[in-house]
Amino acid sequence: MMKFNDFKPLICFLLGAAAAAVCILSYLSMHQVAGIEGLRVWSFGAKTTEHRELARVLKDAAMNDSTVILTTLNEAWAAPNSILDLFLESFHLGEQTEQLLKYLVIVAMDPKAFERCRTKHSHCYYLNIEGMNFAAEKRFMTPDYLEMMWRRLEFLGTVLELGYNFLFTDMDIMWFRSPFQHFSGDAHFMIASDFFYGNSSDLHNLPNNGFVYVKSCEQTIEFYKYWYLARKLYPGKNEQTVLNKMKKDKNFFAKFQLEMRFLDTAYFGGFCQPSKNLNKVCTMHANCCVGIGNKLHDLRILLEDWKNYTALPADEKERGGIAWRVPDKCKSP
């Protein structure tokens, strides 16, 4: 993988506001990112109507420390009895998670998803991306899927620039306990793992960008800018794959003075590597699973397993030995 010092100068066509252009030129001259031409300039902080509305929604939902919980929704996942309903149900079933819903902002990717959100939840924001239609299910690694993932990353960078910390969660993650006590106070960027190998600082852990806690600060704002720009270096790759490639340079995060941690699957599990102890689990993710039908099938079983667990007497819970019945249809071939 190329390192910063190996990169050639960037030729950048400035299409945005002058302030944004100066910011990007300064950033790129510092890091000398190569091979990215014809790149539209980020316009974070631009006083557009959309950003003013976003700032209003974030302010209404934020915790006292300016932290918000974010998720994204499209029409396919918003249908009745689909992913949205299971996601919200998990907050009601979890231990002291229902109170976290007041900090949740659902970012709708299409008009019907926005309408559905407004019937189910208090804090909804419509991310209007001109010329794109994200309403239908986007199969993994298709062009529309890739575009949706990169636009999501760009949006999260905007949230950081507006001064908000965020906990982003994919909607196919079920919430059973509050995760915040497991976040490291000295880390700027904490990310879930498809596979966790025992050390939160080990860069060999495989990240999953579907669950990430990020503090708004200079380090993370610059990192998200670079991460988004780096998509041009790896065409046809999603943001998670690009992160995996960037972290192969063991000094990569140090160059941003960024403290990164991986989250333990004992608390933040998924179908790739399930949490084995239901007395500890905070979230479970329908990762390593393709297709909304398979996800729905297994997530319904997951919620039934949780209900059965919570109905047990305290002493039986303490003895442990209770296992998930998933993954089922989401099992890898």
List Cβ<8 Å contacts ≥24 apart for 137-145: 137/74, 137/76, 137/77, 137/292, 138/74, 138/76, 139/290, 139/291, 140/290, 141/238, 145/238
Residue 77, pLDDT above cutoff 90: yes
CB atoms closer than 10 angstroms to residue 98: 14
Rounded to the nearest angstrom, the gap between the alpha carbon of residue 217 and the centroid of all alpha carbons in its chain is: 18
Strand duo 124-126 + 104-108: pairing: parallel
The pLDDT tens digits for 279-295 are 999 999 999 999 999 99
Report pLDDT for 31: 47
- CA–CA gap between residue 129 and residue 109 (Å, rounded): 8
Q: Over the stretch 207-224, which tens digit does the pLDDT of each residue have?
A: 999 999 999 999 999 999
For the chain, the structural domain boundaries read 1-43, 46-257
Per-residue pLDDT reduced to its tens digit, 231-260: 999 998 999 999 999 998 888 899 999 999
CATH topology of domain 46-257: Spore Coat Polysaccharide Biosynthesis Protein SpsA; Chain A (3.90.550)
Task: Give the mean model confidence (pLDDT) for residues 117-136.
Answer: 80
CB 1 within 8 A of CB 248: yes
H helix and E strand count, the chain:
11, 10
At position 283, the amino acid (one-letter code) is: T
Phi, psi of 26 (to 5 degrees): -60, -45
Q: Tell me the whole-structure pTM to 2 decimals.
A: 0.84
Share of the chain above pLDDT 90, in %: 71
Q: Which of 16-30, 276-290, 308-322 has the lowest mean pLDDT?
A: 16-30
Mean pLDDT, residues 199-206 taken together: 96
